Structure 1
Amino acid sequence: MSKAFASAGDTAEKEISFSEIGEGLYAFTAEGDPNSGVIVGDESVMVIEAQATPRLARKVIEAVRSVTDKPISHLVLTHYHAVRVLGASAYGADQIVMSDTARSMVVERGQEDWESEFDRFPRLFQGHEEIPGLTWPTATFSDAMTIYLGNRRVDIAHLGRAHTAGDAVVWVPDEEVMFTGDIVEYHSACYCGDGHFSDWGETLDMIGAFEPRAIAPGRGDALVGEEMVWAAIENTRDFVESTFAPAARVAAKGGDLKEAMAEVRKVCDPKFSDFAIYEHCLPFNVARAYDEARGLDHPRIWTAARDKEMWEALQE
């Protein structure tokens, strides 16, 4: 019997945690669902990642209101994926920030990604009727930008390609805390279907060079303390390398995608099969790894039809 498509069989609600990871800095997490981050400044609040729908965004806003009544002035989106951005309208933020590259990906594939992820994550898209349309930034940057929330400095930077070509990280220097988006995960599979395997490790090195005291990852629990931070960075590196290397070996020998899937499973299943969304991500990850190994630098666009065609082709 074929496995349920992507996360279509994941219907259980997740328990939300709202953890302080530095003074006025919070990680909104939900057992492997997409995380959000919160930065409370002197005058206003910045939220990182909008969630998939306004309904889910209101859960983040409720958490924010449990610690401050300051207005939400800025929303930072670390990349373009629908589960991260389509709840943006709920915040009423003055500024919505993305990298230039992330915005270009909304232009190129934003609608297709929305339709694709809608089928992959039906639970996350409950209340989708409220989504007014694609989310567009009001401000973009090429390499880096700085925003002041009163006296509190927040640096936003594109350190390199990883989860997508346009990933951004958010650094709060006064507390040495970073919000990494999906470049770093904790006990959750990395989604690599739009990723850049060959660049990911160098981008992780760039994150490590900041020596963060805490990280809010894209999925999974908040990482507080040097030991947890480095363990998550290295585990993410291991996941990415363990996915790419077997697929690349198959591609080099002229093998097909199904052979690549089998070889990746041999390496990854023993280490990562208990990670959140592992089975969901695996076929997409292998497909992208196989493409990159054969020289396709720019990830192909996933569509709802392509998703299901690939999924069925790779089932045992």
Structure 2
Amino acid sequence: MDAGRFVEVADRVWHARFPQWDVGVGLVPGRDGAVLVDTRASGVQGGAVVAAVRAQFPGVRVRHVVNTHVHFDHTFGNIAFAGATIHAHDRVAATLDGEARRIRAAIAADCSDCPEYGYTVADLDEVAQTRLRPPDCTFGSSATIDLGDRVVTLLHTGRGHTDGDIAVQVPDADVVFLGDLVEQSAHPSLGPDCWPLEWPDTLGSQLNWVGPDTVVVPGHGRPVDEQFVCRQQGELATVAAVLRERRLAGMPLADAAREPDHRLPYPLADLADAVACVWAQLEPS
């Protein structure tokens, strides 16, 4: 990984990966400015993205920022983009304050280095101290950003990783940024605000715009292709099927969270939040 350097993944579509949480940032320049996809986890980290864009693309102005979903590692850097319009789903605006409370409480409970995810205590301090900048423009199902010589489309097809995940499509380059609906450097993160039963269908709807030559950029990791997304959708469908089966059978939550099943594609320990979400979202039979 060439950390912090933008790499062209398709015609005039660029992607950079950063070590903290291995989060990715996209850049789509056009005649009338550029769209930046996601802003990292703090004002300091967002400022580093601003510096990277200036260094690699002199004269390019980031006029639009898109948040693929609400989580701190994709939104807290918004504060560094003065003068840009922030775009996101309606639910990002509604839940950003709650996300800030959640992550700040988590930092207060355990503020320590985590080499596995590439962050340090100093990074966490920066996250906790960052002032939020909410979206300026929100939408429910779709929106477009006109860059003069190209159009970027924003599309929400349902709940999954959160209730406000969107795809950022660049049709002229056949590129789709899917945020954390797809991850490459680890399996998908099924956290306390996920929708496991709906995620496979949401991802399936996004696949309507993905073909064999489409470059799919995940929220974490390197760009992938249609086959990768289909495979991950199948894994998420298996998780949904097993958890639905357990919930409808009336299995107690504690038992469902610890009972192994050879069909599950991810470690059971990583599915504790998903189990709790399904138990809250689905009535037993």
Gaps of 5+ in 1: 1-12, 224-228, 296-316
TM-score, normalised by the number of residues in structure 2: 0.82
Note if 1:61 corresponds to 2:62: no
Q: Residue 267 of structure 1 aligns to a residue in which SS?
A: coil
The answer as to whether partners of 2:7 and 2:16 remain within 8 angstroms in 1 is: yes
Given that residues 216 and 226 in structure 2 are in contact (C-alpha distance below 8 angstroms), is that contact kept between their aligned partners in structure 1?
no
Q: 1:132 deviation in Å?
A: 4.1
Distance 2:161 2:251 in 1: 25
User: Who is 1:197 aligned against?
Assistant: 196
Residue identity over aligned pairs, in percent, reads 23
Q: TM-score, normalised by structure 1?
A: 0.75
Q: Which residue of 2 aligns with 1:230?
A: 226
Query: Contact conserved, 1:250 with 1:259, CA < 8 A, in 2?
Result: no
1:5 match: none
Contact 1:161 1:203 in 2 (8 A): yes
* 1:189 counterpart SS class: coil
User: 1:120-159: per-residue Cα shift (whole Å, max 9, x none)?
Assistant: 8862644517844233111111221111123221111212
- Corresponding residue pairs, total: 270
- Structure 2 distance, partners of 1:120, 1:214, is 36
Q: Is the 8 A contact 2:13 2:27 kept in 1?
A: yes
* Distance in 2 of aligned mates of 1:174 and 1:19: 18
- Find 2:62's aligned residue among 50, 58, 72: 72
Taking the aligned partners of 1:87 and 1:238, their CA distance within structure 2 comes to 32
Residue 116 of structure 2 corresponds to which residue in structure 1?
A: none
SS state at 1:86 partner: helix
Specify which structure has the bigger relative contact order, considering alpha-carbon pairs within 8 angstroms and separated by 6 or more residues: 1
The gaps in structure 2 that reach 5 residues or longer are 114-118
Distance 2:277 2:112 in 1: 20
Distance 2:84 2:6 in 1: 24
SS in 1 for 2:65: strand
Aligned twin of 2:38: 49
Using the alignment, how far apart are the partners of 1:234 and 1:111 within structure 2? 32
- Equivalent residue, structure 2, for 1:23: 11
Task: Say which of 162, 165, 168 aligns to 2:163.
Answer: 165
**1:310 match:** none
Q: How does 1:83-162 map to 2 (within 5 A)?
A: 83-106=73-96, 109-116=98-105, 118=107, 119=110, 123=119, 125-128=123-126, 131-162=129-160
Say whether 1:81 aligns with 2:71: yes
- Tell me the distance in 1 between the aligned counterparts of 2:209 and 2:256: 35
Aligned-residue CA RMSD (Å): 2.8
